[in-house]
Amino acid sequence: MRSRHLFAGLFIGAGANHFAMPRAYEQIVPPRLADHAREVVVISGLAEIAGGLGVLLPSTRRAAGLSLIALLVAIFPANVYMAREPQDFPRIPRWALYARLPLQPMAMLWAWRATRR
């Protein structure tokens, strides 16, 4: 239960951060979507907030978990882009850009486990 609440809180907070610091998120949108970076950031922020809230409600928990897993899959290319183009993100250590990559599947597993009960 505590894990579920922490998981939900992280997504709600991360989603809210899309609106507090939109430019930071717009900068990590891969180039092929750069023309729509603002929209991508808004949609992903709303999806994170909705998913986090959905995790807290028993009636929507499973669907929210699956939706957040899908979202994590969808945003994975942004993490790969950052790792492959470290010169574009000089304020983030190169090791941190690569360390994020295995965290994505771990977050997916956490989403699955937190929303199955």
Query: What is residue 1's predicted lDDT score, i.e. its pLDDT?
Result: 77
| Interval 32-41 mean pLDDT | 96
What whole-number distance in Å separates Cα of residue 38 and Cα of residue 61? Answer: 28
Query: What is residue 105's predicted lDDT score, i.e. its pLDDT?
Result: 95
Query: What is residue 76's predicted lDDT score, i.e. its pLDDT?
Result: 93
Query: What is residue 117's predicted lDDT score, i.e. its pLDDT?
Result: 75
What whole-number distance in Å separates Cα of residue 107 and Cα of residue 11? Answer: 11
What whole-number distance in Å separates Cα of residue 61 and Cα of residue 8? Answer: 10
pLDDT confidence tier of residue 104, bands split at 50, 70 and 90: very high
Residue with tokens 């942004």: 78
Neighbours of 52 (CB within 10 A): 22
Ordered by start, the domain boundaries in the chain are: 2-114
Which segments of 1-117 does DSSP mark as H helices, in order? 2-20, 22-26, 37-56, 61-84, 94-114
Give the mean pLDDT of the chain.
95
What share of the chain has pLDDT > 90, as a percent?
94
Phi, psi at 41, each rounded to 5°: -65, -45
Instruction: Output the six-digit token pair for 81.
Output: 């882009």
The predicted-structure confidence for 50-93, as pLDDT tens digits, reads as follows 999 999 999 999 999 999 999 999 999 999 999 999 999 999 99
**Residue 111 in contact with residue 69, Cβ under 8 Å?**
yes
pTM to 2 decimal places: 0.91
3-class state of residue 59 by DSSP: coil
Query: What is residue 41's predicted lDDT score, i.e. its pLDDT?
Result: 97
